[in-house]
Amino acid sequence: MIPAALITALRGARHVQVFTGAGVSAESGIATFRDTPSGLWERYDPATLATAHAFRQDPALVWGWYEWRRMQVLLARPNPAHLAIAALAQRVPKLTLVTQNVDDLHERAGSTEVIHLHGSLHQPRCFACARSPSQPLGLPDEPEGGRHLEPPRCEHCGGRLRPGVVWFGESLPEAALTAAFAAADSCDVLISVGTSGVVHPAAQIPERAWRAGAVLAHVNPQPLGSHAEREFLLRGTAAQLMPQLLQAAFND
């Protein structure tokens, strides 16, 4: 059941921000990070994979793990949540889509100008000179997680390629974070979809929007939220609730 006050806020919104995490891609078959028992960080310690130190220590383990993730993404398809978010952008005057995800399912669902706070699996770059390969990567060689795969070499300097994602301890792309914060400061409604809200600075975005006066909605099977007013928790999955939200607000 979508609260009437949220429907009214959406219908009257000039600017809507959608902020997504791994949960929006869960129903496309891509494992989230902290959801037990399938949570990725349950099985792999992020410190041994998602850091520059881990890559220096064992580039083949880290590259092999991300290539396994990239294979998952290539085999996955956008789910009804991705499609509803793309459709929502056609129903409101302005929509800013900010994601923590490194997959391209929002783009493949038809969303444009997606702000990726944590980079992308499809944009590898050289660990040494930071330049990108002139050709996109081919199909991943790594069908299973946790197996070693030697990273390709940089065509410019011979260094090793690294995944184009933000690792723990690294800064987020400044332009992306600035744009995401600016949207939080100016949107009328922020819909947070499938994020545990534990990784900063991205996790500040919903709270920042609420403090700026926006109506906040969380789409998540787990309980979230801490404000009495202007905040709604839609308990359920993204693929179920996002189409319902679109239909309730715009009969779409």
Site for ligand APR, rule CB under 6 A? 21-23, 26-27, 32-35, 46, 100, 118, 194-196, 198-199, 219-222, 237-238
- 221 is known to lie in a ligand binding site: yes
- Least Å distance between CB 77 and ligand APR? 15
- Apex 57 CA angle, 53 and 61, nearest 5: 105
- The residue among 128 and 179 lying less far from ligand APR, judged by its C-beta, is 179
- Least Å distance between CB 154 and ligand APR? 24
- Least Å distance between CB 247 and ligand APR? 17
- The residue among 27 and 107 lying less far from ligand APR, judged by its C-beta, is 27
Could you confirm whether 118 is annotated as catalytic?
A: yes
- Sort 116 into a burial class: Cβ within 10 Å, 0-12 / 13-18 / 19+: buried
- Nearest CA among 76, 74, 67 for reference residue 141: 67
Helix spans in the chain (H): 4-12, 23-26, 40-43, 52-57, 59-75, 80-88, 105-108, 174-186, 204-211, 238-250
- 238 is known to lie in a ligand binding site: yes
- The residue among 186 and 204 lying less far from ligand APR, judged by its C-beta, is 204
User: Could you list the active site residues?
Assistant: 118
Binding-site residue numbers for NAD(+) are: 100-103, 194-196, 220-222, 238
